[in-house]
Amino acid sequence: MTDSFADLAGRAARVLPGGVTHAARAYSPPLYVARSEGSHKWLVDGSVLVDYTMGHGALLLGHAHPAVVAAVREQVGRGTHHGANHPLEVQWAEQIVAMVDSVDEVRFTASGTEAAMLALRVARAATGRDVVVKFDGHFHGWSDAVSVNLVDGEPCTATGVPAAQLETTTVLRAGDVEGLRAMLDTGRVAAVVFEGSGAHYGREPLPQGFATTLRAECDRAGALLIIDEVVTGFRVATGGMQSLLGIRPDLSMFGKVMAGGLPGGGLGGRRDLMELLASTIEHPGTFNANPLTASAGIATLVICASGAPQDAAAETAAQLEAGWRDVLQRHGVGGAVWRLVSIIHMRLDDPAAHAALAGRMREEGVDLLHTSAFVSAVHTEDDVAASVAALERALRPSP
């Protein structure tokens, strides 16, 4: 039996806050996915979308990649939780260490949010300092310590996060070198944490050279540099955003691609820092290095190690970027289309049109994450053509 969108939304409204499980999934009108494969998802009403949400960026190899499915199938019958060490966790960590230069050791977590929490714990333990510097709009999951941003230029905690958090989390604008130096000069900063892509997976790119400045300033002040590679890790390059930026962070947070589309994350970094987890730092976690996630993560990373999927996704993304940009130009629509490797961002100058864009694109058969698109290695030229045509129709003035 297939439930209609309306039936499901009605039931959801009674048992899920706001009827959803994640704010980014609060589509209006609501829709429900029955099945996903490759670059597409099939909805419960039988219609199909070209998918660019790609598991919130987790699926560089597309939905249900045969190698990932086979690995998970094999593992699920062998047990989903051994409550003990298992061979896959060793292989998974070895694969990550082999791919990311700055990573000597890895500790697995159940999500990117947890990887961020662990990174700050390690940085504070290693330095004996309390303050963490982050940048406005840079997202590191939803834990208290990183849920601080600028509101009207003033540091502000997210709803439900104590104002006291501002005593140990300092938020700066990306590019504010003077503010950064002033904070580091207090001698209280344990770590500077940042999205190497700039905020929102490259929607707001970092000022040129800023990452190198962060590295130099942290070294000068004895603070650790933590890069958030939850989105960018293994997607933008085999060695992550840090390899494109040419910097060597002390700690790196991972999630998404490294977990192969299952729930997971990890912290990687310098051996002396990571070894604190073997001595003074406690980090229990029922689902650390879950075998099922490990099986999907290994299957994914082994394929990604060649760099071929990243290149394929980037090539398709370049075509799509050009196509969408051309549509804006031909229609005389003010806005911009830009790209970080396989992640495309779009902005329409007209605020109402911008706000409506994702919904209009869904009506035309294309699912974006907000107004961004995660292109996978399995999106095709036909997908690009369909997605360009979809934008063309989505921008047509309503009759």
Ligand X SMILES: Cc1ncc(COP(=O)(O)O)c(C=O)c1O
Output 228 or 250, the one with its CB closest to ligand X: 228
The candidate with the shortest Cα–Cα distance to 168, out of 142, 151, 186, 194, is 186
Closest distance to ligand X from the beta carbon of 58 (Å): 8
Closest distance to ligand X from the beta carbon of 196 (Å): 9
Contact residues toward ligand X (CB under 6 A) are 56, 111-113, 116, 139-141, 195, 228, 230-231, 255, 265
Output 92 or 139, the one with its CB closest to ligand X: 139
- Rama region for 230: left / alpha / beta (φ>0; ψ in -120 to 50; rest): alpha
Closest distance to ligand X from the beta carbon of 318 (Å): 23
Token pair listed for 75: 């593992």
Token pair listed for 114: 């947890």
Output 147 or 157, the one with its CB closest to ligand X: 147
Output 40 or 56, the one with its CB closest to ligand X: 56
Q: Cα separation of 96 and 87, whole Å?
A: 15
Question: Coil, helix or strand for 8?
Answer: helix
Q: Cα separation of 179 and 171, whole Å?
A: 10
Output 119 or 384, the one with its CB closest to ligand X: 119
Task: Write down the residue that tokens 């905020």 correspond to.
Answer: 199
Output 221 or 231, the one with its CB closest to ligand X: 231
Q: Cα separation of 115 and 113, whole Å?
A: 5
**Cβ atoms 122, 281 nearer than 8 A:** yes
Closest distance to ligand X from the beta carbon of 231 (Å): 5
Closest distance to ligand X from the beta carbon of 112 (Å): 2
Closest distance to ligand X from the beta carbon of 14 (Å): 26
Output 111 or 149, the one with its CB closest to ligand X: 111
Closest distance to ligand X from the beta carbon of 138 (Å): 7
**Cβ atoms 340, 196 nearer than 8 A:** no
Output 113 or 157, the one with its CB closest to ligand X: 113
**Cβ atoms 200, 166 nearer than 8 A:** no
**DSSP secondary structure string for all residues of 163-222:** GGGGGTEEEE-TT-HHHHHHHHTTT-EEEEEEETT-HHHHTBPPPTTHHHHHHHHHHHHT
Residue of minimal CB distance from ligand X?
112
Output 301 or 328, the one with its CB closest to ligand X: 301
**Cβ atoms 33, 43 nearer than 8 A:** yes
Closest distance to ligand X from the beta carbon of 187 (Å): 28
Phi, psi angle pair for 188, to nearest 5°: -105, -5
Inter-CA distances, 100 with 75, 241, 377, Å: 26, 10, 20
Closest distance to ligand X from the beta carbon of 255 (Å): 4
